[in-house]
Chain A
Amino acid sequence: MRAIILTAVIWLLALPAFASESESVDTGKVVASIVSSHDSVAPGQEFYIALRTVLDEGWHTYWRNPGDSGEPVQISWKMPEDVTAGEIYWPLPRPIPTGPIVNYGFEGTPLFPVKFTVSPDAEIGTDITVVSNFYYLVCEEICIPEYGSASLSVAVGDPVIDARWSAEIEAALAASPTRGEVQGAIQKSGNVVDISFTDLPEGDFSNAYFFPYDQGVLGHSNPQTVIKGTQGLILTTTPDYLWEDTTPKTLEGVLTFDDGGALKGTNIALAVGQNLDIGESYVPPVGFGKVTLWTAIFGALIGGLILNLMPCVFPVISIKALSIAKTAHGERSVIRREAWLYTAGVMATFLLLTGVLLALKAGGAEIGWGFQLQSPKVVAILAVLLFVIGLNLLGVFEFGSGLQNTGQSLTQKSGAAGSFFTGALAVVVATPCTAPMMAGAVGYALAAPAIVTLAVFMALALGFALPFLLIAYVPGLLSRLPKPGPWMARFKEVLSFPMFAAAIWLVWVLNLQAGDDGLLTVLSAMLAVAIAIWCFKHTKTFGKAIGALALLAAIVMPLSISAGTSAGEVVAAELKAETWSPARVAEIQAEGRPVFVDFTAAWCVTCKVNEKLVLNTAKVQTLFEETDTAFLVADWTNKDDVIAAELAKYGRAGVPLYLVYSNNSVSPVILPQTLSYKVISEAIAGE
């Protein structure tokens, strides 16, 4: 073994008449040399010579577009006539920030290969000596221009690859950007440029960055915000002075991204004009960081758990709690069965909703979570249902002998079906709450592939059902539930109040959606229900027939309701609100005024709370007046594709969403979902 190594070493030492590597030149902060892929080349052959630079730790040199400051690495060649040199194959640059200034350049050991072509007439047996004069500005905090010269010789003869340097050069060539399938377009509107890319290769584009070849195209020091879509991505940043007089025809540059931990890049010529369709998009809300599958699932699980406490869910849940309390001291196996059935009801309903959502999404509809409440029919039915449950809780009627034969409220049914449908009802009523609460996870889920959407929603469902599973399986919890007794009847009656409150809210929503006619219809339906209940309770066969008719009417009437025109007028009436549109935002921005956009819906509780407690206060109104801020309202009470698309742009699948375009920022600030005066004033001031 040793002999072989020794032989190899001797053989290596014996070689160099033709060094494939020049002497190293220490120019100060950089040690430079030129290296060749070949020791010996044949006439007519192509080979590579590269400038190899080893930078001191913390120092950097510059790409072909150096960014805000700096100067590119430059190489000039002197060589005999029987070889010609090509252009530099630039390594992938990285943004190098120094304070507020961003440069494009290299750290470490960048290699700059250049292709050489040997003339077919080169004479075998001669040497080709190539001299490289190189210049680079090398900067850390301070900048030093450094230059040097190096030379090497290759023999003309049979081609002999230099193992070490050809490997390094090959690696550098493989890492340098190539023109792939990627399509790109750039669109400027006001102080914003959107660069869209489609037909992307495999890779992680979370930190994608576009490096333009030319200066003056993009504001290098402003961040490039990544918006990922199902078919591509958009980078949002600022334009620079090249756009002031003319619109550039095409713009070339390099898009970099991550592929399995390695930086990859692709050359693209951007078409100037309309953005490409990147499909459904999702931006992780700032502060949420990167939403991974597992954080989304975990978030959904916790979110589902907390949903049990939300005002729109609590009444439904409490019915179930009552039923659990009833059986708490009965058979454990019964309780477990009930808990699982409840879970099944929750899961099945979520599954159904998710399925509908996915189907609609696949059909191209712009839709978000909470969408079922955009249908006035569903709202009306829910309102009537909650009214009936309230009456029942109040003791107006019992699910006794009379009703049992003709039909009864499914949620009150004891046993299997009862538990299952309590779960189902809880989900349907809970979804308007989930929309604002779960914006991040739901947004992630909707933009993700269907299987991920499903996983996230199932986690949400499981979290939602978890309290009952815990009660059924954790022995301590069960024994802590209060003992049944006469208090339960009182408690049950009290629980009717949140039910009525929820019904009132839904009626109000309906009024906004369907106007006065809708209001009349839903209230009539409630009357019909009351008549039906009375008939079942107090009459014989004939009366029961009337009761059945009334019940039928109570079901049919809500279904006859269609969306009216009165929607949205009431929202934020106190403020001088304008209807939102992207064009209006651009107009107002052009006037140099700040813009506040309120994405809201009548059925969104969080939105209403914010409007009541913050937006409609005198303090905020005064703020808007003093700062000349335009207040734009995007009302999503009814389905609206433009609003849904805008929400998706900010990673939301539902409302509320609050955006502030301040005067010293091109991109809007996304406000938290719980507003405060301070948050709004700071955002308008651009702090």
Chain B
Amino acid sequence: MSVSKVLFSTLAVSALAIAAPATAKIATGSNVADMTVTDSNGVQHNLSDFAGQKVVLEWTNEGCPYVAKHYSTNNMQKTQAMAEADGSVWLSVISSAPGKQGYKTGEEANAWKDAQGAEVTAIVLDPEGEMGQTFAAKTTPHMYIIDEAQTLVYQGAIDDNRSANPATVEGAENYVLSAMNDLKAGNAVAVSDTAPYGCSVKYKS
């Protein structure tokens, strides 16, 4: 055996594992596994706690111009208000690692929420990037909708204008609102998977 071991290392023919892709996305239409997350007030939530309600996830980063586009125009707040009126849960998720753009402590996150007038159920702090990696969140903003049965029914961009220019909000199709309207009407979500756009999520490296 030792001879073959020497041989293996000498020739290095023994193949190592091909690294498994870290960011396999959750297929739209499949169930979302339960996970426990911590919000800006230190409160823990299980995703399964929200079963029976629709859950909207929004990846955010204050310093990102694409996030700024949707907050400065009140577009994100409007979308949040619509979701709330609909009885949905809205979780804004910050996956920025400490020291990277958009990272916030609980206090900072709450202050930002108030300053923006954001109407969200909770701001999830995900500095380790675990929730982000689970959902394969790529950009800020990156939007997800989970239905009452904890099935992922939408993932992708917030709208169809991929620019950072705030002037482009008007006239764009808001995919999140369209999806919510589809669900409300008892239909399947027509546009359920789009390419997200924006800044990259500032994961810890």
Contacts and interface: CB of A to CB of B under 8 A. Distances in A.
B42 interface: no
A294 interface: no
Contact of A144 (B14, B65, B205): B65
Nearest to B64: A143
B13 A101 contact: no
Interface in B1-19: 1, 3-8, 10-19
A30 to B, nearest CB: 15
B: interface residue count bin: 35 or more
Interface string A268-311: 00000000000000000111110000000001001100100110
Interface string A140-177: 01111100000000000000000000000000000000
A562 interface: no
B10 A670 contact: no
Contacts of A440: 11-13
B130 to A, nearest CB: 12
A648 to B, nearest CB: 14
B198 interface: yes
- Binding site secondary structure of chain A: loop
* A: interface residue count bin: 35 or more
Contacts of A99: 129, 200-205
Contacts of B5: 674
Interface in B49-84: 63-66
Contacts of B185: none
Given A68-B139, A144-B65, A221-B23, A438 B18 contact: no
Interface in B126-173: 129, 133, 136, 138-139, 156, 162-165
A606 B139 CA distance: 48
A515 interface: no
A71 B197 contact: yes
A686 interface: yes
Contacts of B66: 143
A238 B21 contact: yes
A61 interface: no
Contacts of A215: 195
B125 to A, nearest CB: 18
Contact of A288 (B4, B12, B17, B196): B12
Given A141-B202, A221-B138, A286 B11 contact: no
A100 B133 contact: yes
A437 B4 CA distance: 8
Contacts of B197: 66, 69-71
Ranked nearest first, the 10 interchain pairs of A and B with the lowest CB-CB distance are: A215-B195, A241-B193, A672-B14, A285-B15, A665-B20, A440-B13, A670-B15, A99-B203, A287-B16, A145-B164
5 contacts: A142-B63, A143-B199, A285-B15, A287-B14, A669-B18
Interface of A: 66, 68-71, 98-101, 103, 135, 137, 139, 141-145, 191, 215-216, 219, 221-223, 225, 238, 240-241, 244, 285-289, 299, 302-303, 306, 309-310, 437-441, 606, 650, 662, 664-674, 682-683, 686-687
